Amino acid sequence: MEWTSRGRLRRRAADRGRAGEAARRAPLAPLSLLLLAACGGGGSGGGGGGATGPGGSTYDPSWARATPARVLTLDFDGGMTAAQNGAALKAAVQALQPGDRLEIGAGTYSVDSYFSIDLVGTPTQPIVVAAQAGATPVITRVNASQNTVNVGQNGGARYLRIEGLEIIGGSIALRMHDVQNVQVDSCHIHHCQDNAVAVNSHDTAWIWLTRNEIHDTGGTGEGMYLGANNGVHVMRHSVIAQNLVYNCGGTQGDGIELKQGSYDNLIAENVVHDTNYPCILVYGTDGNAPNVVERNTCWGSNDNVMQVQGEAIVRNNLILDGAVGFSSHDHQGQSRDLVFVHNTVVNTGRAVNLSSWGGRPGMVFANNVCYSQNGDSVRFAGGSAGVQLAGNLVVGPVMGAGGGWATGNGLADFAGVTWTGSSRDARPAPGGAIPASGDVLHEEPVDLTGAARVGTVEAGAYDAP
């Protein structure tokens, strides 16, 4: 039996290479993701959408299903200014008690002073700050001298859910500090001077960032800045799922960045595009449980589309259109213990660049489709000694490795893909090279859509129809 991305245990048939698969995964088994799923944090659904909260998806914490003890409403008062409504909102939020649910009406609430949500609920009495059904409350401020919304800066925040708000402007639009068991769900966060969402000032755990739309950033420009450089502060046991992140600019402009030392996190089913730096950038865990990066769709980066240093399982992702498709190299730690399986990478230039994989422990590169129009399909700059290579399908030269792949036909192997990522239907075309191209010992049980893989083993993110 093995832990799967469907959030349950699944028995594999012997003819699917159960023993070989178990041996491959053993050094990287993300044991505490079992606990995460028990709290509602494992993966489910398919294709970057479709699941809804609260508690209606395994991407939600179990405490989100608690019935509120008291439901309060706050309506926008048309007889007051936006700033006066903002002050009323701030006072209402800061007065909430465990078990309260505050539902906010449509309108623009301008908070012209420092605003931090420092609320502590319990597993049975969480605190919820949410939009009224069908309403879009907008929280903003008149300048970028402060963050628009802080969470947990003075005394922390626990068992708190923020749902359905639009947060605009400020220095950082939403900055989370001393937080555990906090969910930000279905919010629209954009047009800020710096990062959109920052969780980098304290060690944090059990954070759910789900189904948010995040875009148009400035400064260093990260859509999500999670953890701090060199492991000074780390995020652990958290879920970043089903978010839409785009137009991340500024001097860097990563879409989702998970810093060194952060561990046992799930980054799943996000759609990230049009970023300056990588759409998804993940460092290492400093020897802790691996991060899992699965079933994301990423395209349109001026840098590497996806970059992962190591100590991670990267599976069932669709990656297109960047300076390089996927890249892995030493950064704030060494590349090691990285399993890269069942991904589809299509790029005009180099598809995959693996700079420091040779001789490193726990490196697996299997069942991937790596197509380049004008460059290398895969480059092992430091060689591939010790790397498990099997079941890959390539278009373009492979540099630094002597086997473990077959040659595909090109874009005709897909239902509808362009080199530039303008079309992204990467399902295998009937009669193309992808069907039956994978290696059974490295097969994952589901594909990018969340559907079970059946029949022959296909390389890439999609099972054959």
What pLDDT was estimated at residue 53?
53
Burial of 15 (0-12, 13-18, 19+ CB in 10 A): exposed
What pLDDT was estimated at residue 465?
85
Looking at per-residue confidence, does 8 or 416 come out higher? Answer: 416
3-state SS assignment for residue 430: coil
Q: 312 Cβ partners below 8 Å, 6+ apart?
A: 282, 284, 285, 290, 291, 292, 293, 337, 338, 339
What pLDDT was estimated at residue 211?
98
pLDDT digits (tens, 9 = 90+) for 414-463: 999 999 999 999 999 999 999 999 999 999 999 999 999 999 999 999 99
Find residue 70's DSSP bridge partners: 100
> Does the structure show a pLDDT above 70 at 5?
no
Looking at per-residue confidence, does 208 or 19 come out higher? Answer: 208
pLDDT digits (tens, 9 = 90+) for 258-298: 999 999 999 999 999 999 999 999 999 999 999 999 999 99
> Does the structure show a pLDDT above 90 at 207?
yes
pLDDT level of residue 36 (50, 70, 90 thresholds) = very low
Domain boundaries, the chain: 46-294
> Does the structure show a pLDDT above 60 at 16?
no
3-state SS assignment for residue 34: helix
Which strands make up the sheet holding 378-380, listed edge to edge? 116-117, 149-151, 174-176, 197-199, 224-226, 256-258, 280-282, 304-308, 324-328, 352-354, 378-380, 398-399
Q: 46-294 is classed in which CATH architecture?
A: 3 Solenoid (2.160)
- Express as a percent the part of the chain with pLDDT over 90: 87
pLDDT digits (tens, 9 = 90+) for 155-181: 999 999 999 999 999 999 999 999 999
pLDDT digits (tens, 9 = 90+) for 69-103: 999 999 999 999 999 999 999 999 999 999 999 99
Q: What is the β-pairing status of strands 2-3 and 9-10? A: antiparallel
Q: 388 Cβ partners below 8 Å, 6+ apart?
A: 24, 363, 364, 365, 366, 442
Mean pLDDT of the region 23-34: 34
Looking at per-residue confidence, does 10 or 259 come out higher? Answer: 259
pLDDT digits (tens, 9 = 90+) for 352-390: 999 999 999 999 999 999 999 999 999 999 999 999 999
Mean pLDDT of the region 199-224: 98
What pLDDT was estimated at residue 34?
33
pLDDT digits (tens, 9 = 90+) for 109-133: 999 899 999 999 999 999 999 999 9
What pLDDT was estimated at residue 376?
98
Q: CA-to-CA distance for 192 and 182, rounded, in angstroms?
A: 22
> Does the structure show a pLDDT above 70 at 406?
yes
pLDDT level of residue 249 (50, 70, 90 thresholds) = very high
